[in-house]
Amino acid sequence: MKNNRKKVMILTNHSYMLYRFRKELIEELMKNYEVVLSMPFVGHHEDFINMGLRCIETKMDRRGVNPIHDFSLMKFYKKILQEENPDLVITYSIKPNVYGGLMCEKLNIPFYANVQGLGTAFQKPGLAQFATVLYKTAFKKVKTVFFENQVNADEFVDRKIISVEKETILNGAGINLEIYEYKPYPKSDPPHFLYLGRIMKEKGMDELFSAAEKLHDDGYKFVLDLVGFFEDEYKERVELLESKGVVKFHGFQEEPRPYYATADCVVMPSYHEGMSNVNLEASATGRPVITTDIPGCRESVENEYTGWLCEPKSVDSLYEKMKAFLETDISKREVMGKYARQKMVDEFDKKIVVNDTIKALDL
């Protein structure tokens, strides 16, 4: 009987990210379909295997643009798609979307793509034109494209990559409200800001460090906890700020929940996001969030109700919002965190996102 089940194949560029954000979707698909994963093995692939999934290791240069490597990836996708002959394919991230999409089109296999943010590819004019041509070619026969915010979808429609009928908007990957439970507000003295993510320019690090330094110099008492990898260019600055007592660096942490629980406020001053999972996780934990007023961040935070929205790339704006938090009464901060949790329950529950995703698949 099992062999008669339809086969769903998922192509992605990162096993760790797939497990962290799409595990519940995969578990739901496994109830009725055979699911096969193709991905680089960079963490959690063993967890997928233990779930009873067949995983195909896929070598891929995730960030570089090397025609030889990319051609090899395309040939590999053609080979495994011919061998597996899935009933439909779901792709995540630019290379699986483009090269997997092209091979699905060639082999006449229905596919569904996920655009989890536009990233740097659409920030620079030359690169944006190149990405547009690639996507337009790959998405000729795509069944639907899942976006995490309306602005990203509009960009693809405006660039004539897809028609409006082929867009499906989801509230990001959603948030598992059982894993990210509400935690009592900590009321630390001094209060703790938390930044969780890669310490890199496009996440707004220059603005965050400058705003924090200015607050510190102005006599405000707080701790800025940093959790994540840093790019080499920030090593000296992080060490200097740590020596001044402005930040505390914790490095990358596999399990972020304890850091959300001890935070009084989470700060995410990113330049671009599909949907900031950090904002969802922080809000679900019951913490007010300071984030940029951009697509992918603004959807999850209501200004001065569940947190604060600041102007992107503005030290002054971020400084004012962080100052506003520090000058807000502790009981009000706690209430904002409770409102943030409720917003996640009402709009971002992962069960809703999983159901909406499966509903859009022609299975």
Residue 209 lies in a domain: yes
Share of the chain above pLDDT 70, in %: 96
In a domain, 238, yes or no: yes
The pTM score is 0.88
* Closest to 83 in 3D by CA, of 36, 31, 152: 36
Contact 267, 291 (CB under 8 A): yes
Give per-residue pLDDT as tens, 131-145: 788 899 999 999 999
Residues 38, 123 within the same domain = yes
Residue 65 has pLDDT above 80, yes or no: no
CA distances from 59 to 14, 73, 96, 154, 221 (A): 10, 7, 12, 32, 48
Peptide bond into 190 cis (omega under 30): yes
pLDDT confidence band for 3 (50 / 70 / 90)? low
> Which tokens go with 333?
């901060």
**Could you report the per-residue pLDDT of 323-347, keeping only the tens digit for each?**
999 999 999 999 999 999 999 999 9
Q: Output the six-digit token pair for 199.
A: 């310490």
Q: What digits encode the pLDDT tens for the residues 215-256? A: 999 999 999 999 998 878 898 999 999 999 999 999 999 899
164, 196: one domain: no
Task: Say whether both 217 and 112 belong to one domain.
Answer: no
Stretch (H or E) spanning 11: strand 7-11
Q: Into how many domains does the chain fold?
A: 2
How far lies 9's CA from each of 71, 81, 155, in Å? 20, 9, 27
Report pLDDT digits (tens) over 294-316.
Answer: 999 999 999 999 999 999 999 99
State the Cα–Cα distance between residues 245 and 241, nearest whole angstrom: 6
Task: Establish if 58 belongs to a structural domain.
Answer: yes
- Return the pLDDT at 64: 58
Determine, yes or no, domain membership for 178.
no
How far is the first Cα of the chain from the last one, in angstroms, to the nearest whole number? 17
CATH number for the domain harbouring residue 12: 3.40.50.2000
Clarify whether residues 138 and 200 are in a common domain: no
- The DSSP secondary-structure symbol of 46 reads H
**Nearest to residue 179, comparing CAs of 237, 258, 95?**
258
41 versus 356: the higher-pLDDT residue is 356
Residue 362 lies inside a defined structural domain of this protein: no
Q: What is the pLDDT of residues 87-103, one digit of tens each?
A: 999 999 889 999 999 99
Q: What is the mean pLDDT of residues 170-182?
A: 95
Helices (H), 202-329: 205-217, 235-243, 257-262, 277-285, 315-326
- Report yes or no on 361 lying in a domain: no
**18 and 144 assigned to the same domain:** yes
Is 122 within 8 Å of 116 (Cβ atoms)?
Answer: no
Is there a single domain that holds both residue 321 and residue 206?
yes
69 with 214, same domain: the answer is: no
CA distances to 23, 44, 75 from 41, in Å: 15, 8, 19
pLDDT at 162 over 60: yes
Contact at 8 Å (CB) between 108 and 87?
Answer: no
pLDDT-derived band at 77, boundaries 50, 70, 90: very high
Query: Would residue 353 count as lying in a domain?
Result: no
What is the three-class DSSP state of 228?
coil
Do 19 and 154 lie in one domain? The reply is yes
Check whether residue 196 and residue 110 sit in a common domain. no
Neighbours of 154 (CB within 10 A): 14
* 184 lies in some domain: no
**What average pLDDT is seen over the chain?**
92
What's the pLDDT at 2?
Answer: 47
CB 153 within 8 A of CB 169: yes
Q: What does the pLDDT average to over 263-291? A: 96
Residues facing 113 on adjacent strands: 91, 145
Residues 329 and 196 in one domain: yes
Q: Which of 104, 138, 169 is the last residue of a domain?
A: 169
What is the span of the domain harbouring residue 79? 2-169
Q: Report residue 1's pLDDT band, with 50, 70 and 90 as the boundaries.
A: very low
- Clarify whether residues 222 and 148 are in a common domain: no
Residue showing tokens 């051609």: 71
**Whether residue 335 is found in the same domain as residue 209:** yes
Neighbouring CB atoms inside 10 A of 325's CB total 22
**Helix or strand holding residue 359 (H, E):** helix 350-360
